[in-house]
Amino acid sequence: MRVIVGLGNPGLKYQFSRHNIGFRVLDELVANNIGIESKWKNKFFSQVLQYQFEKQKMLFVKPQTYMNLSGRAVKQIINYYGISEEQILVVYDDIHLSLGNLRVRLRGSSGGHRGIESIIQSLGTEEFPRLRIGIKNDSLLQNMDHPSFVLSNFLPEEEQNLPKIISRAVQALEDILNNGFEYAMREYNRTEKNNSDESEK
């Protein structure tokens, strides 16, 4: 089984916030492969949806614990299905990457991301794959602290570009599932090589 976890905060208040791009990418992946009317179930402190992708059994997960307790949901799923940390793939926003840039990683620190911090603490390891999606806006970050920034909505001009960004992130997930992590890392980690990516420290 492969488990794909999109991180975000539940509720209409946060629906279009920067922190919720993980939810939006997962919704798009499901809409493309299963259909927009798919029936999510409430389980494991999450909304979950099972699906057979090609020959792989998939579980799509949107934790409903709020971001800072995401690990609670992920830990329950791993324990219930008896799977390893390497079988999960976490999709989330990255404040250190420019808007739209992607990074595929097999492991790593939280980079200050509270949802990833929670998962690392709950699982007791950093050894789980992730897809990071850049949300950085340097102009706004000059006048906002990080918590306020990630909970803010995208600007109208940013929102116009999001369908393309989300579509590319979905393609990255499909490439991971179809072609493996090494292929996806070659394809999606090439841009903005000179970016100061603090979250890899």
Q: Domain span at residue 167?
A: 2-200
From residue 80, how far is each of 77, 140, 168 by CA, in Å? 5, 42, 32
- Mean model confidence pLDDT for the chain: 92
**What token pair was written down for 66?**
């709020």
Gap between the Cα atoms of 163 and 173, Å rounded: 15
Stretch 118-127: mean pLDDT, rounded?
96
pLDDT tens column, 57-112:
999 999 999 999 999 999 999 999 999 999 999 999 999 999 999 999 999 999 99
**CA 61 to centroid of chain Cα atoms:** 10
pLDDT band at 193 (very low <50, low <70, confident <90, very high): very low
Which residue of the set 19, 96, 113, 146 is catalytic? Answer: 19
Q: What is the model's pLDDT at position 39?
A: 87
pLDDT band at 199 (very low <50, low <70, confident <90, very high): very low
Number of domains forming the structure of the chain: 1
Stretch 190-200: mean pLDDT, rounded?
48
CATH (domain of 44): 3.40.50.1470
Query: Is this model's pTM higher than 0.75 or not?
Result: yes
Q: Are strands 41-43 and 88-98 parallel, antiparallel or unpaired?
A: unpaired
Query: Do the Cβ atoms of 172 and 29 come closer than 8 Å?
Result: no
Give the whole-number percent of the chain exceeding pLDDT 70. 94
* Minimum mean pLDDT range among 16-20, 34-38, 148-152, 159-163: 34-38
pLDDT band at 48 (very low <50, low <70, confident <90, very high): very high
Is 96 assigned a catalytic role? no
DSSP result, the chain: -EEEEE----SGGGTTBGGGHHHHHHHHHHHHHT-TT---EEETTEEEEEEEETTEEEEEEEE-S-GGGHHHHHHHHHHHHT--GGGEEEEEEEEEEETT-EEEESS---TT-HHHHHHHHHHT-S-S-EEEEEEE-HHHHTTS-HHHHHTSBPPHHHHHHHHHHHHHHHHHHHHHHHH-HHHHHHHHS-TTTT---GGG-
